[in-house]
Amino acid sequence: MRNAIVVFTKVPKAGETKTRLTTNRGGVLTPEEAMALYEGCVLDVINVCLAAGSGDVFVCYNHDGDRECLENLLNRTADRSQIREVFADQGGNFDQCMQYAADYILKNGSANRLADSVIIVGGDLPSLQPAIIKDALRKLEYLASTDSGLLTAERRENTALNIGAALVEGACQEGGFSLVGYTCTTPFSFDRVFYNTEGITALDMLVSKAIQENIPFGVVEAAPDVDIPVDLASMIPVIKALQLAARHDESIKVPVNTLEVLGKSGLESSALPPQR
């Protein structure tokens, strides 16, 4: 099965990137520091996807983002030539942008599709590891080969592909997910996943859609994103632990760019002692 990995990101820009981490929104970073942090995260996520060596790597960015600035950033990745394609989304809400990214790859299973399955990851996952990407794709391939996956896929027009339906996710905080993937025969859309009036969490909506359509469903290790100060505080000791563990585990990809930004900022996590 041909696999694609899409890094779904905004082009980092001061004052528009990770604003909830800035002092203007009750955070601890300046707009420039928040942009630099996100740049480090994006670089590390792309390098992880390249290191996984499990499929073609694409980058999907916001339609009004500065392509030149993005290219300058991508030139700092481990190997820009290994990124198959960079494309802009078509705007709209988050559901619509995610759907466009997936459709750009899968093209509803048509002959001109760019892959048979797609994994989409966010650009703000500094603890993401190649092993998580590999596990997600292994589970997609296995689930797609099961009788239930093939049976669910038969309900679609492109059943001649002999690729079963399958959906996999990696959770993050507050009922969300940071990784999602599915095959080109999977009856799934992002409609109402992130934006719904019932207050259903994104992860719950994924599960609900999988149940409703009888889609074989898999989970992989969580990779938390960094949106608000508490996420940042939680992330710092995690990536420091990865840095140390990598001395004895070659499979670990150290988020060197994020660590460099944190080193320059002097930020540290702390736990206040309990008050008496």
CATH number for the domain harbouring residue 99: 3.90.550.10
- Mean pLDDT computed over 43-51: 98
Flag whether 12 is in a domain. yes
Flag whether 118 is in a domain. yes
Flag whether 50 is in a domain. yes
> Cβ(263)–Cβ(163) under 8 Å?
no
Q: Give Cβ neighbours of residue 163 (< 8 Å, ≥ 6 apart).
A: 1, 109, 116, 117, 144, 153, 183, 184, 185
Burial call 216-228: b when 16+ CB within 10 Å, e when fewer: bbbbbebbbbbbb
Return the higher-pLDDT residue of 137 and 274: 137
Burial call 7-25: b when 16+ CB within 10 Å, e when fewer: bbbbbbbbeebbbbbbeee
| Count of domains observed in the chain | 1
Q: What is the pLDDT of residues 245-272, one digit of tens each?
A: 999 999 999 999 999 999 998 888 877 7
Flag whether 266 is in a domain. no
Flag whether 271 is in a domain. no
Alpha helices in the chain (DSSP H): 31-52, 67-74, 94-106, 130-145, 147-153, 202-213, 229-245, 256-265
Calculate the dihedral angle through the C-alpha atoms of 111, 114, 120, 125, rounding to the nearest 10 degrees: 170
- Mean pLDDT computed over 76-101: 97
Flag whether 270 is in a domain. no
Query: What predicted TM-score, i.e. pTM, was given to this entire model?
Result: 0.95
Flag whether 268 is in a domain. no
Q: What is the pLDDT of residues 138-153, one digit of tens each?
A: 999 999 999 999 999 9
Return the higher-pLDDT residue of 270 and 239: 239
If you ran DSSP here, which 8-state letter would residue 228 be given?
Answer: S
Q: Which domain holds residue 115?
A: 3-261
- Mean pLDDT computed over 32-59: 98
Q: Give Cβ neighbours of residue 4 (< 8 Å, ≥ 6 apart).
A: 55, 56, 57, 58, 84, 105, 114, 115, 117, 118, 119
pLDDT band at 275 (very low <50, low <70, confident <90, very high): confident
The rounded percent of the chain whose pLDDT value lies above 70 is 99
pLDDT band at 158 (very low <50, low <70, confident <90, very high): low
Q: What is the pLDDT of residues 216-232, one digit of tens each?
A: 999 999 999 999 999 99
pLDDT of res. 155: 82
3 pLDDT more than 60: yes
> Cβ(145)–Cβ(209) under 8 Å?
no
- Distance, in Å, from the CA atom of 151 to the CA atom of 185, rounded to the nearest integer, reads 11
- Mean pLDDT computed over 27-40: 96
276 pLDDT more than 90: no
Flag whether 273 is in a domain. no
Mean confidence (pLDDT) of the chain:
95
Q: What is the pLDDT of residues 191-202, one digit of tens each?
A: 999 999 899 999
- Distance, in Å, from the CA atom of 235 to the CA atom of 83, rounded to the nearest integer, reads 27
Q: Give Cβ neighbours of residue 148 (< 8 Å, ≥ 6 apart).
A: 164, 214, 216
